């Protein structure tokens, strides 16, 4: 194996002999994915293409600055099979990792910790870690033996936190070790080859060392602020992702994970989550665990798609400090509401217009549509009243109904957690955007919201984008813009912004032209 990060490496590659090309960008910047002498290269660097004078074959000289080298598919599958054969625990067993906390348990609902653990297992907990900080050794051992009987009956592994000797005494399935605890090799010598040994890892170096020493899985965090450990800062999700990609053994996200934030782990490539209060502090432990399991499965299912999306965007984000999102059609799926607003309104009065009416109203503002409807139909309201009705309908939809586009939430949160400033620039009224962002839990991730009204110009001018950059205290060259409309793309490109086109059905007729002028294109589905 060649190291994951190369600084720099100069290669001379015979284009026809050495490489089975999969993807390469235009020169001189090279983003290369190819098979090179049985090694899969995924790299970014600077390249020059030349012709060999003697052979007449095309050659490429690449200086690689960053990248990943992986084994060819045949080699990788062989190694994965070898690893799988050695593994004492699989990813599925780590999906919902229940870590006990007797202080959190509702004693009126659950008479003993054993009762609480059984409820968690019935709810779908796939592995249990027994953690006790205050019990005497004898009391701890007695409890551990009883819980071992329970987990064995349900076919769920039991892990003991920190205490290797006690893990052996109660015949637990394994032990979890912190960075200040016993070394993996020592624990293995005591517990034997069959034991599951987990290790806490807070960075790539610790993760690689633990894997080398024989750890079976890693617990990495704290990924969120947690109440179980004081003075602990959150592990950046970017670091968690790097840990997961650096090792072959599964990784569990631990620390502050709850039903409210599990979705933020999309794209991290974790095997599951380790939770304490999200299970044991709940009044209905079995129900809470079932909900967690459903959320974990949803997070895992989304990860592959989101991972591909994020990898696609990474080259554009290099060296940038901020991202700017349009709202309607980009972050939120609001355009269907705008297309049917007029029809729905007059339908309340038993009026069903033809398509010609719809085409006429489609390009109108709300006040223009109100005036037009008053002129065309016998509705017992003034134009002003119709306009007010329209506004109330819109507010109701934004406040309660209009959804985010798929992966929009994950994308915004990832950008924020990766250290980018986040802005929203809308042609609509700001309060409508605020309603959606508050409802979907994204308001805290947005540094600034600006509107065309604030900028004094439509998106045919870059003024609204420049205002957002000014509020973020960055320059346009440090910002990537996400938009869905061709008009906005022309403006952004002309002003020197890097642009990402987000597909929306309303703009499908101009999608080909959008793809032609933008730096990257994504379809959120």
How far is the C-alpha of 334 from the C-alpha of 326, rounded, in Å?
12
CA angle 237, 183, 180 (to 5 degrees): 60
Tokens of 184: 């993996």
Tokens describing residue 323: 């991202």
Question: Would you say 120 and 286 are in contact if contact means Cβ atoms under 8 Å apart?
Answer: yes
Rounded Cα gap, residues 483 and 465, in angstroms: 11
User: What residue has token string 């037009």?
Assistant: 372
Active-site residues, by number, are 131, 200, 229
Under a CB-based contact definition with an 8 Å cutoff, are residues 160 and 129 in contact? yes
Residue 328 · residue 335 · CB < 8 Å: yes
Contact 289, 124 (CB under 8 A): yes
Residues in the chain: 525
Looking at residue 477, what DSSP letter applies? Answer: G
3-state secondary structure 31-47: EEEEEECCEEEEEEEEE
- Residue of 491, 493, 486, 487 whose CA lies nearest to 519: 493
DSSP letter assigned to residue 157:
-
> DSSP letter string over 339-387?
HHHHHHHHHTTT----HHHHHHHHT--HHHHHHHHHHHS--SS-HHHHH
285 closest CA partner among 94, 102, 105, 95: 105
d(CA 506, CA 8): 45
SS3 129: strand
Instruction: Centre a 10 Å sphere on the Cβ of residue 162 and count the other Cβ atoms it contains.
Output: 16
Token readout for 382 is: 């003034």
């Amino acid at each position: 194996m060649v190291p994951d990060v190369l600084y720099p490496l100069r290669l001379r590659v015979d284009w026809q002999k050495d490489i089975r090309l999969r993807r390469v960008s235009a020169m001189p910047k090279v983003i290369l994915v190819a098979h090179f002498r049985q090694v899969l290269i995924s790299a970014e660097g600077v390249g020059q293409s030349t012709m060999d004078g003697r052979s007449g074959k095309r050659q490429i000289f690449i200086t690689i600055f960053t990248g990943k080298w992986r084994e060819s598919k045949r080699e990788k599958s062989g190694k994965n099979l070898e690893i799988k054969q050695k593994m004492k625990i699989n990813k599925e067993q780590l999906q919902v990792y229940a870590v006990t906390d007797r202080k959190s348990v509702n004693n009126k609902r659950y008479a003993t910790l054993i009762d609480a653990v059984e409820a968690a297992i019935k709810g779908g907990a796939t592995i249990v870690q027994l953690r006790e900080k205050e019990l005497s050794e004898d009391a701890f051992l007695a409890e551990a033996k009883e819980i071992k009987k329970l987990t064995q009956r349900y076919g769920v592994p039991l892990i003991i936190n920190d205490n290797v000797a006690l893990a052996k005494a109660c015949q637990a399935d394994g032990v979890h070790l912190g960075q200040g605890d016993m070394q993996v090799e020592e624990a293995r010598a005591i517990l034997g080859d069959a034991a599951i040994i987990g290790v806490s890892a807070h960075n790539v170096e610790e993760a690689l060392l633990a894997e080398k020493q024989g750890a079976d899985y890693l617990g990495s965090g704290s990924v969120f602020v947690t109440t179980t450990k004081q003075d602990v800062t959150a592990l950046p999700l970017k670091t968690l992702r790097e840990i997961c990609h650096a090792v072959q053994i599964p990784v569990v996200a631990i620390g502050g994970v709850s039903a409210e934030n599990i979705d933020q782990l999309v794209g991290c490539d974790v095997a599951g989550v380790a939770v304490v209060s999200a299970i044991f502090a709940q009044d209905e432990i079995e129900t809470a665990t079932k909900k967690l399991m459903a959320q974990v499965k949803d997070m895992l299912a989304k990860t592959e798609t989101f991972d591909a999306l994020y990898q696609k965007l990474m080259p554009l984000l290099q060296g940038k400090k901020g991202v700017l999102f349009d709202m309607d059609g980009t972050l939120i799926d609001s355009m269907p509401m705008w297309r049917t607003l007029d029809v729905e309104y007059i339908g309340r009065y038993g009026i069903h217009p033809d398509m010609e009416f719809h085409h006429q109203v489609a390009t109108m503002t709300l006040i223009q549509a109100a005036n037009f409807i008053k002129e065309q139909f016998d509705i017992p309201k003034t134009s002003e009243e119709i306009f007010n009705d329209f506004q109330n309908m819109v507010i109701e939809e934004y406040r309660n109904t209009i959804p985010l586009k798929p992966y929009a939430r994950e994308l915004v949160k990832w950008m924020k957690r990766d250290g980018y400033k986040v802005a929203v620039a809308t042609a609509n009224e700001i309060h409508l955007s605020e309603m959606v962002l508050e409802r979907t839990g994204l308001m805290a991730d947005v540094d600034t919201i600006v509107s065309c009204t604030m900028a004094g110009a439509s998106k045919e001018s870059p003024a609204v984008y420049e205002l957002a950059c000014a509020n973020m205290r960055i320059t346009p060259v440090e910002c990537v813009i996400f938009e869905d409309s061709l008009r906005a793309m022309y403006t952004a490109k002309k002003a020197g912004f890097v642009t990402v086109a987000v597909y929306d059905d309303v703009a499908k007729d101009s999608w080909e032209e959008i793809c032609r002028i933008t730096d990257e294109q994504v379809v959120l589905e």
